[in-house]
Amino acid sequence: MTSDVTKTVRTEDRSSDSLEGPAWLWIVAVIAAVVCLTASASAQTYPTKPVRYILPATGASEIVGRLIAQGLTEQLGHQVFVDVRPGAGSNIGAELGAKAPADGYTLTQLMQSHTVNASLYRTLSYDVLRDFAPVTRMTLSPLIVVVHPSLPVRSIPDLVKLAKARPGAINYSSAGAGTSTFLGGELFKAMAGVNLVEIAYRGGGAAQTAVLSGEVSVYFAPIATALPYVREGRLRGLAVGSAKRIASLPEFPTIAESGYPGYESSNWHGFAVPAKTPREIINTLHDAAIAVLKRPDTVKRLQDVGLTPVGDRPDEFAEFLRSDVEKWRKLIKERGIPQQ
């Protein structure tokens, strides 16, 4: 009898042992399923609390950011509050956004400076291509070449002719190395073969004030901030840096059609979330942003300051980021622009 009982116990033990592995696998599978369902449910109910919109720069970027944040608030049904974090060539805000939780509650506005900084800085604590999941490119903001009215030029050919006659005597202001105002000027110098002297200022406001006062002669300006002064006659606009003429400002030719085909230097504004943010949340944000960009009042507000609404898909924005990084990497290398 004892032998039979022992055999029974040992048989039950072996049976239990044989189920131990599959049992644990089953438990792990259940936990994974619960996590997935929880994440899916969270994405479907998103958002449930206020959303932060990080603005890494001011000026034209702030015009766009605040307009979009207000529209997203109405579309999402929760407050999207703007957190202005300028500094270090827009890297402070970008770093903050890249390191935020990937839950859709931190949006970061990206712009040309971020694709430039990928090559301009020796080391960065974030990677614009690796650490962000693009949502949409919202606007295109071409530069406009403006001059102080005292400079005797009224077109790009006039400017080039004068610059070649007086090499090194004409200066242009910039908001600092790596900014669109600096790179627009460097690209123009390279393509036109002229020697304009860059005078760097601490920010776009100071750079624009310098050309308004006549301290410098030329400025490759963000159109949103310079256009009011052009309309007042305090600055003279020569041409825009976009590939095509701006529909709302057809009187300004492009630099490309002014004798330098292929020239294009336009700032742009888009926003992204941290990498690994659930796709459902990205889609929700994208759809909300597109709805805002299609509103007639949004279109008018943007066009009034010379901005063109874009609204591309996340994959299109991702591809644009890659190409823009490569474009500026090439220019920085060819022009020997020192890294910071």
3-class DSSP state for residue 327?
Answer: helix
Domain assignment present for 44: no
* Residue 133 clears pLDDT 70, i.e. is over it: yes
b/e string for 258-291 if b means 16 or more Cβ within 10 A?
bebeebbbbbbbbbbbbeebbeebbebbbebbbe
178 and 231 share one domain: yes
Q: How many domains does the chain have?
A: 3
Q: Could you tell me the pLDDT band of residue 27, with boundaries at 50, 70 and 90?
A: low
pLDDT for 204: 83
HSE-CB of 171 using CA atoms within 13 angstroms: 12
Domain assignment present for 43: no
Average pLDDT, the chain: 87
* Residue 311 clears pLDDT 70, i.e. is over it: yes
User: CA 326 from chain center: how many Å?
Assistant: 15
Average pLDDT score over residue span 91-113: 96
Domain around 206: 142-258
Domain assignment present for 133: yes
pLDDT for 205: 86
CATH of the domain at 214: 3.40.190.10
Domain assignment present for 153: yes
221 and 162 share one domain: yes
Tell which of 234, 258, 282 closes a domain: 258
134 and 146 share one domain: no
3-class DSSP state for residue 143?
Answer: strand
Tell which of 258, 278, 303 closes a domain: 258
Torsions phi, psi for 110 (to 5 deg): -105, 155
Average pLDDT score over residue span 277-300: 97
61 and 153 share one domain: no
291 and 325 share one domain: yes
159 and 233 share one domain: yes
Domain assignment present for 45: no
Domain assignment present for 282: yes
CATH of the domain at 322: 3.40.190.150
* Amino acid, res. 107: L
157 and 181 share one domain: yes
Identify the burial level of 14 via C-beta atoms within 10 angstroms of its C-beta, where 0-12 means exposed, 13-18 middle and 19 or more buried: exposed
Average pLDDT score over residue span 4-25: 45
Measured CA to CA, the distance from residue 246 to residue 301 in angstroms comes to 15
Percent of the chain with pLDDT over 70: 87
161 and 250 share one domain: yes
168 and 218 share one domain: yes
Average pLDDT score over residue span 112-138: 94
208 and 305 share one domain: no
Domain assignment present for 95: yes
62 and 154 share one domain: no
Domain assignment present for 340: no
Measured CA to CA, the distance from residue 47 to residue 243 in angstroms comes to 38
Position with higher pLDDT, 33 vs 246 = 246
pLDDT for 26: 57
Q: Could you tell me the pLDDT band of residue 306, with boundaries at 50, 70 and 90?
A: confident
What single string gives the DSSP state of each residue in 40-52?
A: HHHHHH--SS-EE
135 and 154 share one domain: no
Measured CA to CA, the distance from residue 252 to residue 249 in angstroms comes to 6
Tell which of 258, 285, 310 closes a domain: 258
